[in-house]
């Protein structure tokens, strides 16, 4: 008996010690100001004196550039490429550098772009960047600035044209947990997009420009941030014929060939989400949104779903039964829509809008709904998620009296820790849940069975992808963010022969290394460059690994939703629980009582800063 007890004690001690130790830690030259994960599995870390690139798996320093006092808004990744843009402010002067993410080498420099790059869009060798000068203030202040649009060639930094918007727009704090000044952003607007040789902006309504010349053609002005709420208008989508945009209570179909508006659907209300299947455009109106002033959430109606004929803009049907708030919507299949309000999980017939079923979910302050890999409906809020049997709900007569408990498969609740500063604890807890939606969560929406409908997030960038925890869960659940499966390489990868050739790797990303890109010669090297110390064979291996990580990230479909809570025995301390959204089981744990409020979760690792140290903690699986 004593031997058994000793074995259990040894296992328990080993379990606790392993769990409390970090996977790696890296000490940098000064206090860490920010850190972000890129799509290549490389961490960008800004300190008071430098910008570092670290290998996310090992903590190994890849390169360091000596740049003091960078704000998090000064770093912008260019989607689908190996480039990052660094905005450097030097008093009255500023400059923009295009830097190779993999080696830290500067490829070109522009002295013409003023301020920090807030958002961007790319198409082939063109990139449109939206910059704002001196956007700082305290949370609660009304900060307004005039964004400036620059379009230039990625391959050499040559500016094609620039325009300053005609009026100032309201900006949003980069975070809400500080009493001192913070950078302000354009995260409260949908990022620009390039399509069919045109650039579309969404700051003063909808404005369209010729991408090459800057000539304006279409302009529809309206107040975008209605009632001081962020992202109240839906992200645009397109099919083979139309680009669909929303605003001012209406949806417009823009012909992709002549760029003219062919029809409008009016009097819909605040249009917060759109999806198109075959010849029907589905629109969600109303929902839960983030207040720009303080980061709190607020509901705005009218709440409902509308179906619009894409051929002529005629409204086919409207459902207004969600009168107690509403989450995002998802499709079980091409014929069935799921939504949830404060009380019920609701199924709608996508063809006629009639309610198929309604069952009480009993999830407190429900903010999102998703469909997991077992085809179960999962309804969630800030500290609770529950799964329901869709097949049972579809098979029963909705008019019959049924116990909702019969439909429930599992339920999990993890309240935030009871000890600590309430605002800090709440912020960490919300950030943990929000990580599930970084790449759109599970791909279980209409995108699974409708290849004709497209999302733009692959060629666009907004701070929402790094500062997503500042937004309501409803907004995040309805925002689709994807990583490009085709990479254009400009830096060291373009100059490395044999990189990810077909004979070397299976499932490698498609790489575009046209002659223009490969001729770029770096004109500035970082202070420290890990790659310069490697022999050619090892360098090839490292570069291949980062590009393959990018492909892996592009295929991520999250299986875990994380909660910050009081952990049970044997931990008996605060930490994180990873709940499997397919089974409802607590399967991952990290005992970390006081994480940095900017922590990052990337599949199997949690990253947290402490002074000048960045630490990585691996999850322990049950």
Residues near 290 by beta carbon (within 8 Å), at least 6 away in sequence: 188, 229, 230, 231, 296, 297, 298, 470, 471, 472, 475
Instruction: Give CA separation, 196 vs 220, 240, 389, 481, in Å.
Output: 19, 11, 43, 21
Helix (H, G, I), strand (E, B) or coil at 445: coil
Spatial separation of the C-alpha atoms in residues 265 and 283, rounded to whole Å? 11
CB-CB contact of 27 with 608 (8 Å): no
Residue 555: its pLDDT value, please? 56
Predicted confidence band at 483 (pLDDT cuts at 50, 70, 90)?
A: low
Structure tokens at 250: 């209406």
Q: Are 26 and 617 in contact (CB under 8 A)?
A: no
d(CA 311, CA 451): 18
Q: What are the DSSP calls for 535-604, one per residue?
A: -HHHHHHHHHHHHHHHHHHHT----EEEEEEE--TTT-SEEEEEEETTT--EEEEEE-SS--TT-EEETT
Task: Supply angle C-alpha 285, 286, 290, rounded to 5.
Answer: 135
- Show which of 554, 569, 602 is a domain's final residue: 554
Q: Are 345 and 361 in contact (CB under 8 A)?
A: yes
Indicate whether 563 pLDDT > 80. yes
pLDDT exceeds cutoff 50 at 10: no
Most confident of 27-36, 268-277, 427-436, 543-552: 27-36
Quick one: 490 and 550 in the same domain? yes
CB 461 within 8 A of CB 120: yes
DSSP H helical segments within 21-133, as ranges?
Answer: none
The verdict on residue 601 lying in a domain is yes
- Of 436-445, 513-522, 579-588, the one with minimum mean pLDDT is 513-522
Task: Answer whether 509's CB lies under 8 Å from 551's CB.
Answer: yes
- Same domain (yes/no): 538, 578: no
Cα separation, 140 vs 7, whole angstroms: 57
Q: Is 359 helix (H, G, I), strand (E, B) or coil?
A: strand
Mean pLDDT of 209-221: 81
* Average pLDDT score over residue span 510-528: 60
In a domain, 10, yes or no: yes
At residue 324, what are phi and psi to the nearest 5 degrees?
Answer: -125, 50
591 occurs within a structural domain:
yes
Residue 47 domain-assigned (yes or no): no
Note whether residue 492 is domain-resident.
Answer: yes
Q: Are residues 490 and 548 in the same domain?
A: yes
Measured distance CA(499)–CA(476) in Å, rounded: 36
The answer as to whether 478 is a domain residue is no
- Phi then psi for residue 274, to 5 deg, are -135, 150
- How high is the pLDDT of residue 259? 86
pLDDT at 5 over 60: no
Which residues lie closer than 8 Å to 34 by C-beta, 6 or more apart?
45, 46, 70, 71, 72, 75, 598
Number of structural domains (the chain) is: 2
Buried-state track 122-134, b at ≥16 Cβ within 10 A, e below 16? bbebbbbbbbbee
- pLDDT bucket at 386, cuts 50 / 70 / 90: very high
Nearest-10 Cα torsion for 386, 391, 392, 396? 130
122: in domain: no
Looking at the structure, do residues 493 and 519 belong to the same domain, yes or no? Answer: yes
Domain boundary among 554, 578, 598: 554
For the segment 570-586, the average pLDDT, to the nearest whole number, is 91
| pLDDT at residue 403 tops 80 | no
- Per-residue pLDDT band at 515 (split at 50, 70, 90): very low
Tokens standing for residue 342: 């404060």
Beta bridge mates, 175: none
Q: Which domain holds residue 505?
A: 486-554
Cα→Cα distances 214→218, 249, 282, Å? 12, 28, 32
How far apart, in Å, are the Cα atoms of 247 and each of 215, 219, 251, 263, 304?
22, 12, 7, 14, 16
Nearest to 158 by CA among 104, 103, 99, 113: 113
Q: Does residue 580 surpass a pLDDT of 50?
A: yes
pLDDT value at residue 442: 46
Q: Are 197 and 212 in contact (CB under 8 A)?
A: yes
Whether residue 549 is found in the same domain as residue 568 = no
Residues 537 and 579 in one domain: no
> What is the residue whose two structure tokens read 């910008």?
51
Is residue 412 one of the residues assigned to a domain? no
Q: How many CB atoms lie within 10 A of CB 204?
A: 19
pTM: 0.88
In the β-sheet with 106-110, what is the strand arrangement from edge to edge? 75-77, 83-90, 93-100, 106-110
Confidence of residue 452 (pLDDT cuts 50, 70, 90): very low
In this structure, what token pair is assigned to residue 304?
A: 């409902």
**Taking residues 220-235, what's their average pLDDT?**
80
Residues 412 and 380 sit within 8 Å (Cβ to Cβ): no
The residue with greater pLDDT, 274 or 520, is 274
Give the separation between CA 525 and CA 153, rounded to whole angstroms. 22
Per-residue model confidence (pLDDT) at position 241:
92
Whole-angstrom distance between the N-terminal and C-terminal Cα of the chain? 26
pLDDT digits (tens, 9 = 90+) for 305-323: 999 999 999 999 999 887 7
What is the tens place of the pLDDT at every residue in 147-199? 999 999 998 999 999 999 888 999 999 988 888 899 999 999 999 999 999 99
Residue 569 and residue 544 in one domain: no
More confident residue, 60 or 223: 60
- Report the mean per-residue pLDDT for the chain: 84
Domain boundary at 535, 554, 573, which? 554
């Amino acid at each position: 008996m004593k031997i058994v007890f000793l074995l259990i004690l040894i296992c328990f001690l080993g379990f606790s010690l392993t769990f409390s130790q970090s996977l790696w830690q890296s000490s940098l030259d000064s206090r860490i100001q920010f850190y972000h994960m890129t799509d290549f599995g490389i961490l960008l870390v800004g300190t008071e004196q430098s910008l570092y690139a670290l290998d996310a798996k090992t903590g190994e320093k890849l390169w360091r550039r000596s740049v003091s006092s960078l704000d998090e808004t000064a770093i912008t990744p260019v989607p689908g490429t190996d480039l990052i843009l660094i905005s450097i402010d030097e008093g009255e002067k500023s400059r923009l550098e295009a830097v190779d993410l993999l080696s830290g080498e500067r490829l070109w420099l522009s002295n013409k772009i003023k301020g920090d790059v807030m958002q961007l869009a790319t198409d082939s060798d063109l990139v449109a960047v939206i910059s704002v000068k001196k956007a700082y203030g305290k949370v609660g202040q009304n900060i307004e600035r005039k964004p400036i649009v620059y379009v230039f060639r990625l391959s050499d930094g040559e500016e094609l044209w620039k325009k300053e918007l005609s009026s100032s727009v309201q900006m949003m704090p980069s975070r809400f947990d500080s009493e001192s000044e913070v950078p302000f952003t354009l995260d409260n607007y949908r990022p620009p997009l390039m399509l069919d040789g045109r650039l579309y902006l969404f700051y003063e309504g909808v404005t369209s420009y010729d991408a090459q010349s800057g000539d304006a053609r279409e302009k529809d002005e309206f107040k975008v941030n209605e009632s001081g709420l962020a992202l109240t208008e839906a992200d645009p989508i397109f099919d083979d014929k139309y680009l669909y945009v929303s605003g001012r209570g209406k949806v417009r179909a823009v012909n992709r060939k002549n760029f003219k508006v062919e029809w409008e659907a009016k009097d819909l209300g605040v249009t917060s989400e759109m999806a198109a299947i075959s010849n029907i455009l589905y629109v969600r109106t109303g929902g839960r949104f983030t207040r720009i002033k303080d980061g709190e959430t607020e509901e705005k109606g009218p709440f409902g779903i509308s179906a619009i004929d894409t051929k002529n803009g005629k409204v086919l049907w409207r459902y207004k039964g969600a009168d107690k708030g509403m989450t995002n919507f998802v499709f079980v299949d091409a014929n069935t829509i799921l939504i949830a309000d404060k009380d019920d999980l609701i199924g709608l017939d996508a063809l006629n809008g009639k309610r198929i079923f309604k069952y009480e979910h009993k999830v407190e302050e429900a903010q999102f709904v998703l469909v997991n890999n077992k085809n179960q409906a999962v309804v969630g809020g800030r500290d609770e998620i529950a799964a329901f049997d869709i097949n049972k709900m579809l098979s029963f007569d909705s008019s019959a009296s049924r116990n909702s408990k019969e439909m429930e498969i599992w339920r999990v609740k993890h309240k935030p820790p009871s000890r600590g500063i309430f605002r800090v604890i709440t912020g960490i807890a919300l950030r943990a849940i929000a990580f599930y939606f970084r790449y759109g969560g599970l791909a279980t929406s209409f995108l699974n069975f409708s290849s004709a409908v497209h999302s733009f997030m692959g060629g666009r960038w907004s701070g929402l992808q790094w500062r997503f925890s500042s937004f309501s869960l409803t907004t995040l659940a309805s925002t689709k963010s994807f990583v490009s499966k085709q990479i254009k390489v400009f830096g060291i990868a373009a100059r490395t022969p044999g990189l990810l050739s077909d004979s070397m790797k299976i499932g490698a990303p498609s790489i575009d290394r046209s002659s223009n890109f490969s001729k770029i010669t770096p004109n500035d090297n970082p202070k420290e460059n890990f790659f310069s110390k490697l022999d050619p064979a090892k360098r090839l291996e490292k570069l291949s690994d980062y590009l393959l990580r990018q492909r892996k990230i592009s295929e991520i479909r999250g299986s875990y939703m994380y909660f910050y809570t009081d952990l049970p025995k044997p931990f008996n301390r605060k930490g994180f629980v990873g709940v499997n959204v397919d089974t409802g089981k607590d399967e991952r744990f990290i005992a970390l009582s006081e994480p940095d409020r900017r922590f990052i979760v990337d599949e199997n690792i949690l990253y947290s800063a402490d002074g000048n140290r960045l630490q990585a903690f691996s999850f322990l699986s049950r």
